[in-house]
Amino acid sequence: MTADGDLVHPYVTWFIDCATKAITGVAVTPGPPTRASIPAALRSAIAHTHPYGPFGGLPEHVRFDRGRDFLSRTVTTALTTLDADITVLPPYSPHLKGSIENLNHCVETMLFTALPGHTPKQPRRRPDRTPTGPTLSFRAFTAELLAWVHRWNTEHHPAGLQGRTPLEAWQADPTPLNDIPAADVWSFTLEDDGRPRVITSHGVAFRNRDHIADWMTGQAGREVTVRFMPHHTHEIEVCTPHGHRLGTTHLADQATDDQRAALRRARAARVRRLRAEAKAAEQLRHTRFAPTSLPADAQRLDTITAPEAARALAQHRDGDLGRLALPDLIPPAPPPPDWATPDALKKTTRPAHPAEPTTPEPPPGREDPR
């Protein structure tokens, strides 16, 4: 699958109702998922309104494995606020979550193997093979997955439902549902750092960056709190101290698409360079020993000349000194007194040397003994 021009592996996070085998919520992430994927899937599992539903309602009991994202504070706080009982399964126990394991197997055999660009899962010791044919875009892959989810819920007849579809089993279940307004679902799946903030002329400061919106006009000086989706640093939700939502704000002075693309290329080049250096260093570090057929001490085969060893040691020593260099250790000299220098810059300069003492002139009418 391609996402913004890059070839990535999609990851699916979803919730399934164990009684009816219905997929209640799903979220797709291009690339490795984060803890933000779980609240997104949880919102779609709770809400009844379009484009979600008809499955939904507050969960009474949730089971998941010991994945780091599921054990994060974001997920546990959201489920605790929704008054759901949480069961964290012991490690290496897929038999205790057979419904979701079977769903993962079904989507692999019924959908993923037929999609262009699919590569069979490789053992962990082998790198994944790059697909040679055309691949789907992220939008096309998400559309295919959601269409399959709809067919699973409305047309598929899983074993154990007596020939019914998950939708028919859901509609026939007399268990009452507990709902919350769709407009309030978002508030239970966002993080809150608990710090009060004040709206200024630059907006709201969050993680050393300003976020601003049109609705902030005339709101300077108002005390607010911030709620946010993990890793979604481009926008945050601003609320009153009592939790009432005021509006969405966006990151001010965002970098352009060209700047972000150039930064990604620079980071990718640095990664390639560091990997090449690490590979070369590992080859140099590798030590070979001479074979022997008689009892004897191990003999290293890394003999080099004295000049070669001196050059290698000097290269490592120079590199270490370069990393320890402190260019700001000696502050700059003070500017001339007739310059208009801000006080903030004056503090970063070293003090001027005191003037050398001079010999006082003798009082008039007396001779200098010298």
The pLDDT score that the predictor gives to residue 360 is: 55
Could you tell me where the DSSP H helices lie in the chain?
37-46, 73-81, 98-110, 138-154, 166-172, 182-185, 257-285, 306-323, 343-346
Please give the C-alpha separations between residue 201 and each of 196, 206, 222, 237, 239, in angstroms, as whole numbers: 17, 14, 11, 18, 17
Tens digit of each residue's pLDDT (9 = 90 or more) over 130-186: 766 788 899 999 999 999 999 999 999 988 888 999 999 999 988 888 888 766 777
Residue 355: pLDDT above 60?
no
Which run of H or E residues covers position 6?
strand 6-7
The pLDDT score that the predictor gives to residue 304 is: 84
Q: DSSP secondary-structure letter at 113?
A: G
User: Region 196-208: what's the mean pLDDT?
Assistant: 91
The pLDDT score that the predictor gives to residue 324 is: 63
Residue 359: pLDDT above 60?
no
What's the half-sphere exposure (Cβ side, CA atoms, 13 Å) at 25?
20
In the chain the domains, ranked by start, together with CATH numbers, are 2-185 (3.30.420.10), 190-251 (no CATH)
Q: What is the Cα–Cα distance from 110 to 176, expressed in whole angstroms?
A: 33
Task: Give the mean pLDDT of the chain.
Answer: 83
Residue 329: pLDDT above 90?
no
Q: pLDDT band at residue 97, thresholds of 50, 70 and 90?
A: confident
The pLDDT score that the predictor gives to residue 320 is: 60
The pLDDT score that the predictor gives to residue 122 is: 63
| Neighbouring-strand partners of residue 106 | none
Burial tier of 104 (Cβ tally within 10 Å: 0-12, 13-18, 19+): middle
Residue 350: pLDDT above 80?
no
Residue 62: pLDDT above 60?
yes
Asked whether 76 and 87 are in contact (CB, 8 A), the reply is: no
Higher pLDDT, 243 or 11: 11
The pLDDT score that the predictor gives to residue 48 is: 80
Q: pLDDT band at residue 231, thresholds of 50, 70 and 90?
A: confident
User: Region 84-100: what's the mean pLDDT?
Assistant: 88
